[in-house]
Amino acid sequence: MTEKKEKFYLTTPIYYTNGLPHIGHTYTTIVADVIRRYKRMRGYDVVMTTGTDEHGVNVERAAKKAGVAESEFVAKMADAWRALWDELGIPADEFVRTTDLKHVRTVQWLFRQCKENGYVYKGNYTGLYCIYDNAFVNEPKPGNLCPDCDRPLETVTEENYFFKLSAFQRPLLDFYRKNPDFIQPETRKNEIVSFVEGGLKDLSITRTTIRWGIPVPGEEPHVFYVWFDALTAYLSAVGGPEYEKRGYWPADLHLVGKDIIRFHTVYWPAFLMAAMLPVPKQVWAHGWFLMDAAKMSKSKGNVVLPRPIVNMLGMDALRYFLLREVVFGQDGNFSYDALVTRYNSDLANGLGNLASRTAALIEKNFDGKIPKPGARQPQDEALAKEAQAAIGEVLENYDKLSFARALETIWSVIGAADKYLTSEQPWALGNSEDEQARKGTILWTTAELLRIVTALAYPVLPDSASKVWLLLGQAVGVGKCELDGLRWGQLAPGTALSKAQTLFPRVEKTEAIERIEAMANEELNPTPAVPAPAATPASAGGAAAAAVPAASEKIGIEDFAKVEMRVGQIKTAERIVGADKLLKLTVDIGTEIRQICAGIAQYYTPESLIGRKVAVVVNLAPRKLRGVESNGMIVAASVGPEGRPVLAGFHEEVEVGARLK
């Protein structure tokens, strides 16, 4: 008999398509994914929605600048957002675009409901409008500047439909009182309550000055105001007018940044009340990640991107850092230094080390099988107690979205296990029956602790927790483990460990930061592919496959002469953390030793290359590949549909440094 699961519906904001995701957006989506994984482990049937907010004058302008139709522009952008979430392992269950037909219908339907219930009327509106934030501004900064973004406001008069927000002052205040948890954290709630107590003005919800929007049926050229449009996406994602059929509405949780809390806690519940629809249960406003205490922006050049960090340290490292470093709800500063420090200390030396140490000891002493625990000594009891107590504490903190606290608790248990191993010294015990039994108790205790912290850490560290779980020989995936049933003592002796993998290879801080920054730089300012006359760089890096020029593209000998190729001999070769396809080589080219990266890691082992003579393009401008400097290019043929690189070489003795002509 399958038990019907309780539903849990949560959302991230839907992101504007006139820009691309940075760490701030990634933060919200990661948090949503953590909650989703956690709730699933608590037995809920969870749906998480994210998506793209595609209408408005900013998109109109951006599309014009790009010389394409708005629809084409937003389709590309929506693809890019969706692809990033997929790549990072945080895909939406429902990805909603505000240009989706189902969304358009939902917005029009919601408007009709509000209108039929008498909360919508037509009028004229003149106001100062910020075209960047898509909002009329009531209290401009001196010089008519936008209080949010400091940019000049425009005076706009137009015929609008108005929403009677003023009628919802009482109902909203009553609602906040009856639902004290609706606005989180508490400090934000006070802010909103005083705003509503100060009186609410009616709100214009359609525009005639904008073309790129959802049309108000029968009222063209009216289109919906972006926030009436955008907020409704949460409902369109789970059935729109037919929301009852799917059963996920009202939302349990809207995660938002602090800048958009008013839209979510004042306008949105009012729209829903006007349409007589259920109101979401909770809106949680988190703080901002700042870079050197300033808001990130492309123009300031201080945007932090997720991909370079993930390439270098892995997605789990980014997830862990964002959730551990800053109390959820508060602002925090982002720094690469702090990121790498936490990575090395908490992940590599903490969880990673405990897992590999435990596995190695069990491997050596018990043939890779979980030993049987014998009589327990007080220190074993103490550790068991600490781990058992952590379960309750961690769940409680996850429930409150106190991620930093939850992780702190988990890591203090990991720390206790390290100390325990260091003081019990199982490696110093001999092979007598007693000593072997004691070893068994110590290692069973450590492995059981590892199992518990792994299950608890899974929502934040899904990749590495899955690896540790597998290492411990657990059959069912850790994400399927039911947290409600998690208890000390469930680890079965005799379970065979699987092969240990390095979870978090330690990195050298300066080098790691340099590489992350270089990769970010590449992503933000992509270098246009340099047309190489005789060789085209293989996609993955500096191994060149001979290009076949089209017949019409014949070049003269003087062009060919521009390419200086020499015989080089590979001196060293190593893999690069965070770049699966690249090898870092040092190559003797006769006059000097060069560092060159080659995209051949999937086809050549580093050892097989040492001493090998290769053809090197030596006068290419140096560039960075995955953040590593590459000064030259190794020539290779590109074979088969996959473009497998085969290094060009020599069948006779050649001198290092000889020129190829």
Residues that bind ligand MSP (CB under 6 A): 13-16, 24-25, 27-28, 53, 230-231, 233, 256-257, 259-260, 288-289, 296
In the complex, minimum distance from the CB of residue 66 to ligand MSP, in angstroms, rounded to a whole number: 18
Torsion of CA 419, 413, 331, 54, to 10 degrees: 130
Q: How far apart are CA 309 and CA 580, in angstroms?
A: 15
Give me the least distance between CB of 97 and ligand MSP, in Å please.
12
* Closer CB to ligand MSP, 264 or 357, in the complex: 264
* Shortest distance (Å) from residue 485 CB to ligand MSP: 35
Q: Are 583 and 612 in contact (CB under 8 A)?
A: no
Quote the distance between the C-alpha of residue 550 and its chain's center: 42
**R_g of the chain, CA atoms, integer Å:** 30
The residue among 258 and 612 lying less far from ligand MSP, judged by its C-beta, is 258
Could you give the CA distance from residue 350 to residue 361 in angstroms, rounded to a whole number?
A: 17
Q: Which two tokens stand for residue 630?
A: 């590459």
Q: Which is nearer to ligand MSP, 16 or 604 (CB)?
A: 16
Please tell me the distance from the alpha carbon of residue 650 to that of residue 5, in angstroms, as a whole number. Answer: 67
Residues contacting residue 564 through CB under 8 Å, at least 6 positions apart:
617, 618, 619, 659
Q: How far is the CB of 289 from ligand MSP (least distance, A)?
A: 4
Cβ proximity to ligand MSP, 165 vs 472, nearer residue: 165
Residue sitting closest to ligand MSP (CB): 257
* Nearer CB in complex with ligand MSP: 335/586: 335
Whose Cβ is closer to ligand MSP: residue 9's or residue 604's?
Answer: 9
Choose between 210 and 296: whose C-beta lies nearer to ligand MSP: 296
Min dist CB 77 to ligand MSP, Å, is 11
Could you give the maximum distance between any two Cα atoms of the chain, in Å?
92
Give SS3 for 384. Answer: helix
Min. distance of Cβ 11 from ligand MSP in angstroms? 8
Q: Which is nearer to ligand MSP, 259 or 463 (CB)?
A: 259
Given the complex with ligand MSP, which of 149 and 382 has the nearer CB atom?
149
CB atoms within 10 A of CB 583: 27
Nearest-approach distance from CB 446 to ligand MSP, in angstroms: 38
My answer on whether omega of the bond before 308 falls inside 30° of 0, hence cis, is no
> What six digits make up the tokens of 641?
């549909």
DSSP conformation letters of 259-291: GGHHIIIIIHHHHHHHTT-PPPS-EEEE--EEE
Torsions phi, psi for 402 (to 5 deg):
-90, 75
For the chain, what's the residue count?
Answer: 661
Provide the minimum distance between the beta carbon of 418 and ligand MSP in the complex, in angstroms, as a whole number.
Answer: 33
Beta bridge partners of 52: 15, 97
Residue number, 13 or 373, with CB nearest to ligand MSP: 13
Give the C-alpha separation, 548 to 206, whole Å: 57
Q: How far is the CB of 262 from ligand MSP (least distance, A)?
A: 12
Q: What is the distance between the alpha carbons of residues 296 and 303, in angstroms, rounded to a whole number?
A: 5
**In the complex with ligand MSP, which residue's Cβ is closer, 14 or 497?**
14
Q: 3-class SS at 483?
A: helix
CB of 233 to ligand MSP, least distance (A): 6
CB atoms within 10 A of CB 11: 29
- Cβ-based nearer residue to ligand MSP, 256 or 573: 256
**CB 258 to ligand MSP: min, Å:** 7
193 vs 175: CA distance, rounded Å: 11
CB atoms within 10 A of CB 22: 21
Min CB(341)–ligand MSP separation in Å: 21
Of the candidates 209, 230, 207, 215, which has an alpha carbon nearest to the alpha carbon of residue 17? 230
* Cβ proximity of 54 and 98 under 8 Å: yes
240 φψ region: left (φ > 0), alpha (ψ -120 to 50), beta (else): left
Paired with 257 in beta bridges are 286
Based on CB atoms, which residue is closest to ligand MSP, 108 or 631? 108
Determine the Cα–Cα distance for residues 353 and 348; give it in Å rounded to an integer: 6
Question: Cβ 438 to ligand MSP, closest distance in Å?
Answer: 50
